[in-house]
Amino acid sequence: MPKMHMVDALNTALHQEMGQDDRVIVLGEDVGVDGGVFRVTDGLIEAFGEERVIDTPLAEAGIVGTSIGMAVHGLRPVCEIQFSGFSYLAFHQLEAHAARMRWRSRGAYTVPMVLRTPYSGGVRALEHHSESREAYWAHTPGLKMVIPSTPRNARALLVSAIRHPDPVVFYEPKAVYRAFREEVPEEEETWPIGKARVVREGDDITMISYGAMMRPTLEAADRLAEDDGVEAEVIDILTIAPLDYETFAESARKTGRVVIVHEAPRSFGPGAEIVARLVEKSFWYLEAPIRRVTGYDVVIPLFAYEKAYLPSAARVLRAARETLETPA
Amino acid sequence: MPREVIDLPYQMDYLSILDEDGQLMDEDLEPAIPEDRLLQLHRTMVLVRRFDERMLQLQRQGRIGTFAPVRGQEAAQMGIVAALRDSDWMVPSFREQAAAIWRGQSLESILVANGGFYQGNAMAEGTRNLPVAVPVGTQPLHAVGLSYAIRYRGDDDVVVTFFGDGATSQGDFHEAMNFAGVWKTPTIFVCQNNQWAISVPRTRQTASKTLAQKALAYGIPGLQVDGNDILAVYVAGEEAAERARSGEGPTMIECVTYRLAVHTTADDPSRYRDEEEVEEWRRREPLSRFQTYLKQKDLLSDGDIEAVEDEVKKEIQDAVDRAEKRMDELAGEELSMFDHIYAEVPPYLREQRDELARELQAKEGNDA
């Protein structure tokens, strides 16, 4: 199995899906000749031509709105918004139309499109290039919201998203794009939308995260094992909406202690929904208050203070220890 | 007559005053700019050019972050703002360092902002410049709102907004033009047509022959100018400002210019454009043309240029020194991320601020 970065794994998914399904169209700003500003779509225009790989005019609403039309007519558009901070210029297209076409037409028309867009901080970027606002889309009935965390699951999830019958907002953690390589099988691989994954098993505490925050979370779990002799169970959510609550609720029933990690602002963030599900499904098994390690409820600072804003392994570790210290 | 021709005024001026080498083509078109003003414009243009180069150097050294160089577009910005009053508003996108510096923004603050510190975005008291707007094409609407408010207050100030060729594809841009046309606001829409929206050329952005003609659909005058000719840009700006001030409403000016450098420092133009094209535009760049004009008027000598170069070099070095000192001072002020979110800090944010303070303390303890 070749080892690759997340950008190359995503590129592989696009190449393979476009190669076997001529309904798949890629469109967005700079996705063609430039190969995407992060090179995720590199080589596609050479392989599949300008009709299937479209350098669009600079208009996010235009990109998403035309994708909706293409999808209704049977194509499988995979559109790119260059940074998630610019996706709000297409908010109405997603909320008012992509999310509701199936509902409004009583199932006659559907929108099997994917909106790919990089999110996450930690790359010394400009304003609007570092946010984590998945809650907007997760809160919108009719949209699916996916966030991979490694090259392999990114490839598998993107393939599933392209084949999915409903619109999928696909957030790519740009801090992970070229952070590490992982073996990705050449043969086709998928991962179901709506399914979380236990990536580390343990009986003492449950740690729940996704996307770029999986790395500090796993690092904290390793430290707990090495320094404290504590075995954490770590769950990668992978799909934010619909949430696979059974996987983490079951883990919480086993460990009784939970820490949730995300870089999105805390209030009304995915962590709040996870807590609610845990209270509904595992309340009688909990032995300590659930803790959230998150971004603060502020505009993510420009890069000088970014590190202080983003959850670190040290922050996750401290929260986990506090949770563990609470007597049962 | 069930089907007849609607007569539309489908014509558009293209204005240029200096030729490609900087020679005055038509003396009747030459604006009456006082000599000291011309020299001040020249000095600032040299300052902006050298500052841009220095920022690129600092970025490559990792001392500041990603930024959008202005090289090649100095005249297209400065010609406009030179025709404005201090009490007029400027609403920029993210590449308007030349306009901002002319209107009083300090080099130090630009460096601090690009060094990752939002403190650099603090607007100096008395200046009427909005901070940069990164999402493309979103800011012209604010210019229309500002212009409406100015007129509502009975003032005769005007508002200029800058945006690029890519921005003319955005819905917000068209809404702004339409509102301005309907409300007849004192707004000057200045399109910096630098030919490239990252990798997408002007020809792939719109099927229109010009960008200026977008104005026609909204019932407002449009004009295309040689954006690398500071005199032509100045004349266009002055005409538009006069129209706006006298209650005749908005104007759109398309400055035909060229982005000589990268889109931002994260961009690699060799992937999408030929060096020959860049070379072609480099011959027409605005600074040398302006210098030729000033020399022909006997306002500037090679010795003067050398003196200006020395002056701005020192000014830039001083700004870099001050900015680095300031950034060192600001480095430990992470708690400021809770400032300016709301007029008053709500209790839950105060708690989060305390939480961050504890985190920072714990970190210090660990580091020690």
How confident is the model over B42-78, as pLDDT tens digits?
Answer: 999 999 999 999 999 999 999 999 999 999 999 999 9
| Cα separation values, A21 from A31, A33, A75, A225, Å | 19, 22, 10, 46
**Nearest one of A36, A38, A40, A33 to A15, comparing CA atoms:** A40
State the smallest CA–CA distance between residue A187 and chain B in angstroms. 31
* Chain B residues closer than 8 Å to A314 by CB: 362-363, 366
Mean pLDDT throughout B22-45? 96
CA distance B318 to B236: 35
Phi-psi region of B62 (alpha: psi -120 to 50; beta: other; left: phi over 0): left
A283 — contact with chain B (CB < 8 Å)? no
Residue of B64, B109, B198, B202 to mutate, testing the A interface (most A Cβ within 10 Å of its Cβ): B198
Angle, vertex CA B203, rays to CA B199 and CA B208, nearest 5: 140
Measure the CA–CA gap between B155 and B353, rounded to whole angstroms: 42
Interface with B, mutate which of A87, A302, A310 (most B CBs under 10 A) = A302
Specify the pLDDT at position B8.
81
Pairing relation of β-strands A53-55 and B187-193? unpaired
What pLDDT sits at residue B286? 98
Report CB contact under 8 Å: A58, B166: yes
Sorting pLDDT into bands at 50, 70 and 90, what band is B368? low
Q: Do A296 and B336 touch (CB under 8 A)?
A: no
Evaluate if residue A41 carries a pLDDT over 90: yes
Check pLDDT > 80 for residue B278: yes
Judge: A89–B327 Cβ closer than 8 Å, yes or no.
no
Average predicted confidence (pLDDT) for chain B: 96
Four-CA torsion A146, A148, A152, A156, nearest 10 degrees: 0
A interface test, pick of B191, B329, B334, B351 with most A CB neighbours within 10 Å: B334
Q: Is A124 on the interface with B (CB under 8 A)?
A: yes
The answer to whether the beta carbons of residues B193 and B256 sit under 8 Å apart is yes
Helix or strand holding residue A116 (H, E): strand A114-119
- List the structure tokens of B352: 């989060």
pLDDT digit string (tens) for A107-117?
A: 999 999 999 99
Percentage of chain B lying above the pLDDT 90 cut: 94
| A128: nearest CB among B134, B171, B206 | B134
ipTM of the complex model: 0.94
Does A297 contact B330 at a Cβ distance shorter than 8 Å? Answer: no
Long-range contacts of B37-41, Cβ-Cβ distance < 8 Å, separation of 24 or more: B37/B82, B38/B294, B38/B297, B38/B299, B39/B294, B39/B299, B39/B300, B41/B78, B41/B82, B41/B102, B41/B230, B41/B290
What is d(CA A108, CA A51) in angstroms, rounded to the nearest whole number?
27
Which residue in chain A has the smallest CA separation from B201?
A: A57
Q: Nearest chain B Cα to A37, which residue?
A: B267
Q: Is A296 on the interface with B (CB under 8 A)?
A: yes
Nearest CB to A62; choose among B169, B198, B349 = B169
Give the pLDDT confidence score for residue A306 in this predicted structure.
97
CA nearest B198 in A: which residue?
A30
Q: Which residue has the tokens 């590490």?
A: A180
Asked if the model's pLDDT at residue B367 lies above 90, the reply is: no
CB B55 within 8 A of CB B64: yes
Q: Work out the average pLDDT over A155-171.
A: 98
- The pLDDT score that the predictor gives to residue B10 is 75
Cα separation, B107 vs B44, in Å, equals: 12
Q: Residue A59: closest CA among chain B residues belongs to which residue?
A: B170
Q: Does residue B363 surpass a pLDDT of 90?
A: no
Q: How many CB pairs below 8 Å do chains A and B form together?
A: 127
User: β-strand A24-28 against A76-80: which pairing, if any?
Assistant: parallel
The Cα of A103 is separated from the nearest Cα of chain B by a number of Å equal to: 27
Which two tokens mark B16? 């240029």
Q: Give catalytic residues of B, as residue numbers.
A: 259, 263, 272
Per DSSP, the three-state class of A265 is strand
* Helix or strand (DSSP H, E) at A13: helix A6-20
CB within 8 Å: A58 and B341: no
The answer, yes or no, to whether residue B366 has pLDDT greater than 80, is no
pLDDT recorded at residue A319: 97
Global confidence as pTM: 0.96
| A244 — pLDDT class (breaks 50, 70, 90) | very high
d(CA A211, CA B199): 29
Note whether A81 and A87 are within 8 A (CB): yes
Q: Which residues, other chains included, contact B276 with Cβ-Cβ below 8 Å and sequence gap of 6+?
A: none
A58–chain B Cβ distance below 8 A for any pair: yes
Please give the average per-residue pLDDT across B324-352, as a whole number. Answer: 97
The SS3 of residue B251 is strand
Average pLDDT score over residue span B189-212: 97
pLDDT in tens, B98-116: 999 999 999 999 999 999 9
Over residues B145-167, the pLDDT tens digits come to 999 999 999 999 999 999 999 99
Give mean pLDDT, residues A88-98. 98
Please tell me the predicted confidence (pLDDT) of residue B125: 86
Residue A221, Cβ neighbours under 10 Å: how many? 26
Residues of A in contact with B366 (CB under 8 A): 314
- List of E strands, chain B: 13-15, 89-91, 159-164, 187-193, 196-197, 200-201, 222-226, 251-256
Query: Which residue is listed with tokens 């202690």?
Result: A257
**Whole-number pLDDT of residue B51:** 98
pLDDT tens digit sequence for A97-146: 999 999 999 999 999 999 999 999 999 999 999 999 999 999 999 999 99
Residue B11: pLDDT band with limits 50, 70, 90: confident
Q: Which residue has the tokens 């020399």?
A: B295
